[in-house]
Amino acid sequence: PGNFYAYAPLTWSFFADNLLVHGNLGYLYDIKDFRHHIGTWNLALEGVLVNDHFEIAGEVYGDTRSLPYWQAGLRWWAVRGLVRIDLTALGQVGEVPQGSVGVSLFRIVQKAP
């Protein structure tokens, strides 16, 4: 309670949405941090590989208090538009990376006529 934040996101699309680049700059007022005013940032990309069943994703992000964090991974659509498997490596710059495996379930919602 008492913190305030704001950010401005931007996304650029290339190659008919087969490559997306996301970025944002932000501001955080943290009442518990002695510096109070903290800048935040993010740069990410998502790309489609091999017939829309495989995607890559990468991201770096951080704030003005610490070293940046990163993550990179491969996504496989086991059932296109419904079930996706994510293999991801992640960590903070200068630290030992970790890995994760995730399963995402999606539901396709269509607009009523």
What average pLDDT does range 26-46 have in this prediction?
Answer: 89
pLDDT of residue 69: 97
Cα(112)–Cα(22) distance, rounded to whole angstroms?
30
pLDDT of residue 91: 96
* pLDDT above 70: residue 113: no
pLDDT of residue 111: 66
Q: Which residue has the tokens 């208090």?
A: 65
Task: Write the pLDDT tens digit of every residue in 48-81.
Answer: 987 778 999 999 999 988 899 999 999 999 988 8
Q: What is the pTM of this model?
A: 0.77
Q: Which two tokens stand for residue 74?
A: 């491969």
